[in-house]
Structure 1
């Protein structure tokens, strides 16, 4: 098989202090267990048929990093970040390599290997991933794409034939191929601000504007663009009960995509204080905290822009004023997405109490977030008065059906798929992938029902 990826690399043309060039560390016996053929076609990848064993073996060589395709420019990106509020001046791709970029009808896309071995940014880590987190990110990101949420995508996944050691012992190694509009993060800007490298900051600002916000005119416009895409993104998360779990600044992408699916999950029973991350012991990234944390992250991004804005006092004043726009941007996005869930295409602030009353009842009764919305126009017992007020607003039930998925990638189902894969059985993964990528269709109750008490999973782990 002759695999052709039409690389057109621009990040690699930036100065070498933005990254470290290196190849992937070869693995012993890569085997392809997932390949996203429709996405490959959209990326313009030719010769990616996987009909034969030889084809699959060739794909496994490329997407494990054992074979570097022509035109690739493998590199590990530098970035910094606030992690749970504490600043780390140098993080970077500790287990990932950017192979390169392709230009598509939908815009430029990065192709990145995750789990491809150690880099200078690994911080004593092994640079590898095991099959559990790879499966989780594949299922979660493809489900999010099917739900219409801006997200990175999964192109391929391979097992490596090598174990990786984690807290629970040796696990089967795996590598994910991730596609993103870019991997530029708030933390990328913070890395150069911490070094007071104004030349790099200006280059990065110009590059980001050209790539993601071509109409922007300077740092303040870039900040405005970031606020708009992040306000919409977080409101979308909230409207589907998604909890990112680790909203560190190095996990906020300038593209406005959901990135870095670590200890993330969809809620089953609704409660605004839900935390499903094993490492979030203080609830910093609880469901209800996601909007203010996004605002806080944006403030850190604004701070990183100060060195390239001339007079410092004026820059601080201008940026401080600018970030005040985030709460109303988020409020408008929240009304847009939650309004659609109850069939109100033109929801106004006057409709917020109606929507909040519905959510409050769900929290008090411990109702399933996804199923309660999907059941509309049927409403839970105790909401008869609410239903009359709602019907008086003339909800569009077609909009309700289009806005409320029947299926989400539930945590207990993901854990069952991972357990099967660890035992060598990937059929449950294939089945779940087909279900969660058609989220508005009727599905088996195994995928729509919330977990039984003995199935309930209260935490998810990064565990890469």
Structure 2
């Protein structure tokens, strides 16, 4: 890319105010990397509310200019494009060097709340970490990530955000030629469990300490005053991940590729390649086309998260204590705590879904009993829990409509109503609270697929735009978007989702 695509400094400053702390870390933390040239960038989506939140000044910026910026053709003043290094366990197999193979971090901004946020291009071209890949992204995965990441945030789940999507004008080649695109992702950071593994694998203890101290300063300020700040960091990451996975489970979300390089230390959901939301409830459900043995099935997600955190703890052993036996004991204690933390978070979220004001440990069999009824009755996960809000006010018909055998719900409902009677809430107040725990709309797989097909096949982005609008307010009953609440017809069922690499 030639220098003539760079804007004048005063013009660029109107767009971003960068403060790039990760770029100040030395190699091998990161390697400078400019985005690749593309032939005809065209803006297809831009998240203006998020841009305002980030303090990005858009006055006078045309769609053409935004397309140039968010495809990497125009490098704003202050940006320091780079590729981040990390390792990772992929389906249980350790790879000592992965890194950003098709992502380029433009830089960091301080948002209007004083929080540091990464701005990263996905599909920006090859980097030193591409491992024979083309570094590009196809349009379909870009649209999927845009929809799902914004839906996750609207559902109240910590997640990376979608700032922009740009067509490149160039094809990418997977099984066939597909339209190329670049996705702009915003994150609290892109530091992963695999980032720690990268330095641990090289025996670089000084870099491990530097990384841990950086993460503390950026994500967990105050921990530096703890007696063992690095152990405190490990425990804090474990806590955030326990809460995150409980969030996922409560909305029927399946990540699909929970490798250690896809687990952030900030506690955000990241990388939405083969992800999906369940329609019919099945705890063994798998969507990812590459998950042939169900490693990352819905019901396995808590155990996988704990396994990933054990790998983080292993990587951090040299900086937990100079006595390896003491370090192992500390690490084991932190990782073992995940189970209790997760169960408490799960009980809180699932209790809210069935209308329990103050969840108790004895509520667990009650919740599991409803899930069993749903599994046996072929019930839609989202519709059944939403229908339960009406049942809290005495109308069981919507729940009955979700089940092959409504009598199974009736048998369960007696104990449920007895439990609700112990909480001092009116039925109306309880149902209203439940509607804030049970979404009306989720980004259903078949609707995402329809939006992608429309965009890829006919360049019609209207279904995509409408879906983005629909998932923005998932807990509100909006009749205008009722089509997004219905499960797929038999010929619309999506059985497999794909990474897009």
Shift of 1:48: 5.3
Q: Secondary structure at the match of 2:362?
A: helix
Give me the whole-angstrom Cα distance separating, in 2, the residues matched to 1:146 and 1:106: 21
Give me the whole-angstrom Cα distance separating, in 1, the residues matched to 2:57 and 2:433: 38
Give me the whole-angstrom Cα distance separating, in 1, the residues matched to 2:94 and 2:338: 23
What residue is the counterpart of 1:402 in the other structure? 436
Q: Which runs of 5+ in 2 are unaligned?
A: 1-10, 401-405, 424-429
* 1:78-89 map, 5 Å: 78-89=85-96
What residue is the counterpart of 2:448 in the other structure? 414
Is the aligned partner of 1:343 residue 2:355? yes
Q: Secondary structure at the match of 1:403?
A: coil
With 134-143 and 378-387 compared, the bigger mean Cα shift is at 378-387
Q: In 1, are the aligned partners of 2:238 and 2:334 still within 8 Å (CA)? A: no
What residue is the counterpart of 1:39 in the other structure? 50
Count of equivalent residues: 459
Q: Secondary structure at the match of 2:44?
A: strand
Is the aligned partner of 1:163 residue 2:197? no
What residue is the counterpart of 2:411 in the other structure? 385
Give me the whole-angstrom Cα distance separating, in 2, the residues matched to 1:410 and 1:172: 23
- Whose radius of gyration is greater, 1 or 2? 2
TM-score, normalised on structure 2?
0.90
Q: In 2, are the aligned partners of 1:343 and 1:398 still within 8 Å (CA)? A: no
* 1:189-268 map, 5 Å: 189-216=196-223, 217=226, 218-268=229-279
Q: In 2, are the aligned partners of 1:81 and 1:89 still within 8 Å (CA)? A: yes
Give me the whole-angstrom Cα distance separating, in 1, the residues matched to 2:131 and 2:358: 49
Shift of 1:345: 2.7
* Structure 1 segments (4+ residues) deviating >6 Å: none
Q: In 2, are the aligned partners of 1:269 and 1:367 still within 8 Å (CA)? A: yes
* 1:61-76 map, 5 Å: 61-76=68-83
What residue is the counterpart of 2:426 in the other structure? none
With 19-28 and 444-453 compared, the bigger mean Cα shift is at 444-453
User: Which of 365, 369, 374 is residue 362 of structure 1 equivalent to?
Assistant: 374
Shift of 1:322: 2.2
User: Which of 187, 191, 205 is residue 184 of structure 1 equivalent to?
Assistant: 191
What residue is the counterpart of 2:303 in the other structure? 292
Shift of 1:391: 1.9
With 2-11 and 355-364 compared, the bigger mean Cα shift is at 2-11
What residue is the counterpart of 1:277 in the other structure? 288
Q: Deviations over 1:208-236 (max 9, x none)?
A: 01111112232210111011100000000
Give me the whole-angstrom Cα distance separating, in 2, the residues matched to 1:272 and 1:215: 39
Q: In 2, are the aligned partners of 1:48 and 1:59 still within 8 Å (CA)? A: no
Q: Which runs of 5+ in 1 are unaligned?
A: none
Is the aligned partner of 1:153 residue 2:177? no
What residue is the counterpart of 2:384 in the other structure? 372
Shift of 1:388: 2.3
Q: Secondary structure at the match of 2:183?
A: strand
User: Which of 411, 425, 429 is residue 460 of structure 2 equivalent to?
Assistant: 425
Give me the whole-angstrom Cα distance separating, in 2, the residues matched to 1:6 and 1:42: 13
Q: Deviations over 1:54-110 (max 9, x none)?
A: x00000000000000011010000000000000000000000000111112051100
Q: Deviations over 1:174-216 (max 9, x none)?
A: 0000000000000000000000001110000000011111122
What residue is the counterpart of 1:113 in the other structure? 121
User: Which of 317, 340, 351 is residue 328 of structure 1 equivalent to?
Assistant: 340
What residue is the counterpart of 1:463 in the other structure? 500
Give me the whole-angstrom Cα distance separating, in 1, the residues matched to 2:497 and 2:279: 13
Q: Secondary structure at the match of 1:154?
A: strand
Give me the whole-angstrom Cα distance separating, in 1, the residues matched to 2:322 and 2:57: 48
Shift of 1:348: 1.3
Q: In 2, are the aligned partners of 1:336 and 1:345 still within 8 Å (CA)? A: no
